[in-house]
Amino acid sequence: MKIWTKDEIIARFNMERAVRMIEEGFVAYSRKTVQVPPVQNFQFDAANGDCCVKSAYVEGAAAFAVKVSTGFYDNPKQGLPSNNGLIVLFSATTGEPVALLQDEGWLTCVRTALAGQLAARLLAPREVHGIGIIGSGEQARLQLEYLQPVTGCRDVFVWGPSAKNRGHYVEKMSALGFNVRAMDSAEEVAANANLIVTTTPSREPLLRSEWIRNGTHITAVGADSASKQELDPAIICRARVIVVDSIDQCSKYGEVSHALSAGLIHAEQLLELGALLDAGQRARDDTNLAQITVADLTGVAVQDVQIAASVGA
């Protein structure tokens, strides 16, 4: 078994290869040519921590993957990152362990951001005049970084709850060539952007429908478990196109679940990302400049197996 450290993984990582494989994973997921057993979850109340085990196999692939990711939210008090984890790849022909990726959660962050890139490819307006970012942590940085291949826009408006983190964000992303302005509210972000990505672990809506301008696309990646929510359900209701990474999962949690349970939308309106990628067409009507579109990405294990295979197989 090969063992890769986080630094080695970052050195081996190739964005184009990873995107291509994640796209293939989403297509296989929507074609149901995958095995994705139910997620295993742990709660560690005394340590303010949780863990999930996500496993997947894309039929016909050389390897399947088991990913363990942990979030222990008091870790920063003792100088440790909140997130950790690893992925193990196993041969689908002999069952032998093939590779251990000690990525410390990095690949999960990246595959989440790459799903945002795929969603933007299908759904972002042809002319993006401002990119809005809600949140200012690592995921907010990666989402913006990976938007570069799908839009020429470099004007960015960011807001997150921490003023200090907003400052760091401006500094780091400006170094990548973006014109970044920290805003005082999510409302100001919405007023300046027609491509918005929300990246926070919020448990209440941060964006209200009346703030969203016609012609905007929003990708929401924060609501990866029950009770998390970043968008006003009225935004989902208003959207002409609602794309999800997993109809099954987003019906249970994610932004869409709130709109479904409030009766604002019907499950039949949901389009699965993999099915759209399979069709090879944009999901946005580029002749309708007022159209609002939403992508709700909760994270599925095919992303994990595919990004791991892109690095470690």
Token pair listed for 115 = 């799903």
Which of 49, 137, 201, 215 contacts its own copies by CB under 8 A?
49
3-state secondary structure the chain: CEEEEHHHHHHHCCHHHHHHHHHHHHHHHHHCCEECCCCEEEEEHHHCEEEEEEEEEECCCCEEEEEEEEEECCHHHHCCCCEEEEEEEEECCCCCEEEEEECCCHHHHHHHHHHHHHHHHHHCCCCCCCEEEECCCHHHHHHHHHHCCCCCCCEEEEECCCHHHHHHHHHHHHCCCCEEEECCCHHHHHHHCCEEEECCCCEEEEECHHHCCCCCEEEECCCCCCCCEEECHHHHHHCCEEEECCHHHHHHCCHHHHHHHCCCCCHHHEEEHHHHHHHCCCCCCCCCCCCCEEEECCCCHHHHHHHHHHHHC
Place of tokens 């994270």: 299
Name the active-site residue from 2, 6, 32, 67. 67
Q: Which is nearer to its own copies, 71 or 116 (CB)?
A: 71
Distance of CA 305 to the CA centre of its chain: 15
Q: Which of 25, 63, 84, 308 binds its own copies (CB under 8 A)?
A: 84
| 55 lines the binding site for its own copies (CB under 8 A) | yes
**Footprint of its own copies on residues 2-41 (CB under 8 A)?**
3, 35, 37-38, 40-41
Q: In terms of CB distance, is 105 or 205 closer to its own copies?
A: 105
Smallest separation, CB 96 to its own copies (Å)? 5
Instruction: Give the residue, chosen from 11, 31, 32, 47, that forms a contact with its own copies under the rule CB under 8 A.
Output: 47
The answer to whether residue 72 forms part of the interface with its own copies (CB under 8 A) is yes
Q: For this structure, is 252 an active site residue?
A: no
Q: Which is nearer to its own copies, 55 or 199 (CB)?
A: 55
Q: How far is the CB of 103 from its own copies (least distance, A)?
A: 11
Residue count at the site for its own copies (CB under 8 A)? 40
246 binds its own copies (CB under 8 A): no
Residue 93, interface with its own copies (CB under 8 A)?
yes
Rounded CA-CA distance 128/125 in Å is 6
Check binding of 90 to its own copies (CB under 8 A): yes
Stretch that binds its own copies, among 87-95, 117-125, 165-173, 289-297 (CB under 8 A): 87-95
User: By CB under 8 A, is residue 79 in contact with its own copies?
Assistant: no
How big is the chain, counted in residues?
Answer: 313
Nearest CB to its own copies, comparing residues 226 and 290: 226
- What is the residue whose two structure tokens read 């795929």? 118
Residues numbered 263-292 forming contacts with its own copies, rule: CB under 8 A: none
d(CA 46, CA 244): 34
For its own copies, which residue of 9, 22, 28, 66 counts as binding (CB under 8 A)?
A: 66
Q: Among 85-93, 181-189, 214-222, 288-296, which window interacts with its own copies (CB under 8 A)?
A: 85-93
Of 98 and 123, which has the nearer Cβ to its own copies? Answer: 98
Binding site for its own copies (CB under 8 A): 1, 3, 35, 37-38, 40-44, 46-47, 49, 51, 53, 55, 57, 64, 66, 68, 70-72, 75, 78, 80, 83-86, 88, 90, 92-97, 100, 102
Q: What is the set of active-site residues?
A: 67
